[in-house]
């Protein structure tokens, strides 16, 4: 278990570290967040419309509508503009707590990956390929599905693909070496 914990700690540093570098220095996420003109007026308007924190689909049919009413609503919306807005009444972000939570998430993710690999994780290349497989799995299931269903633009999901491949590629290189260190070759 000690080997798994050390592997997960270093793997988490690599995954979290890539995320930090990606967001702070590479700026390939910048295109994912467009800026609107007259930001103060826009946020004031949104504040009068949204009464609580949440994610809003505008417009949206009433969830209690019948299937026929929803179909009619959807048909009437085809080709017209829509928006997905994540709204918070107050900015309560805490960079320190967010960093701790993100690092903990990276640690748990890498640890789970190590545990899934099991006692005989395979050769270096096998671990590396499986690590990239995790990146592709997450991208397809989370980000690409968002593109399919919510039309999330490519400029939003492309940097996520790059980050996943880079972070989990680094973790795979590390784990491929670490988990095979001291094991006899077959």
Residue 149, in any domain of the structure: yes
For every residue of 166-182, DSSP letters joined together read HHHHHHHHHHHHHTTTT
**Each residue of 144-183: pLDDT tens digit?**
999 999 999 999 999 999 999 999 999 999 999 999 987 7
Specify if 58 maps to a domain: no
Is 66 among the domain residues?
A: no
Q: Do the domain assignments include residue 75?
A: no
Residue 134 counted as domain residue? yes
Give the pTM. Answer: 0.85
Total domains in the chain come to 1
Q: Is residue 52 included in any domain, yes or no?
A: no
| Residue 82: half-sphere exposure toward Cβ, Cα within 13 Å | 17
Q: Is residue 168 part of a domain?
A: yes
Q: pLDDT by residue (tens digit) across 8-65?
A: 999 999 999 999 999 889 988 988 888 999 999 999 999 999 989 999 999 988 889 9
- Sign of the C-alpha dihedral computed for residues 142, 147, 152 and 155 taken in this order: positive
Domain extent, residue 172, equals 2-34+95-178
**Which single residue is written with the structure tokens 């009464």?**
51
> Looking at the domain assignment, is residue 73 inside a domain?
no
């Amino acid at each position: 278990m000690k080997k798994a914990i050390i592997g997960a700690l270093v793997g988490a540093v690599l995954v979290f570290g890539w995320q930090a570098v990606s967001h702070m220095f590479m700026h390939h996420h910048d295109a994912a967040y467009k800026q609107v003109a007259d930001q103060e007026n826009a946020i004031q308007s949104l504040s009068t419309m949204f009464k609580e924190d949440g994610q809003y689909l505008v417009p949206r049919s009433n969830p209690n509508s019948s299937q026929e009413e929803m179909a009619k609503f959807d048909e009437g919306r085809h080709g017209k503009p829509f928006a997905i807005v994540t709204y918070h009444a107050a900015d309560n972000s805490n960079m320190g707590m967010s960093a701790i939570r993100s690092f903990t998430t990276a640690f748990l993710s890498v640890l789970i990956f190590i545990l899934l690999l099991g006692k005989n994780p395979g050769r270096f290349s096998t671990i590396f390929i499986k690590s990239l497989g995790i990146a592709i799995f997450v991208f397809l299931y989370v980000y690409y599905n968002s593109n399919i269903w919510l039309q999330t633009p490519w400029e939003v999901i492309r940097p996520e693909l790059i980050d996943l491949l880079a972070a989990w590629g680094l973790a795979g290189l590390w784990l491929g070496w670490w988990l095979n260190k001291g094991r006899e070759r077959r």
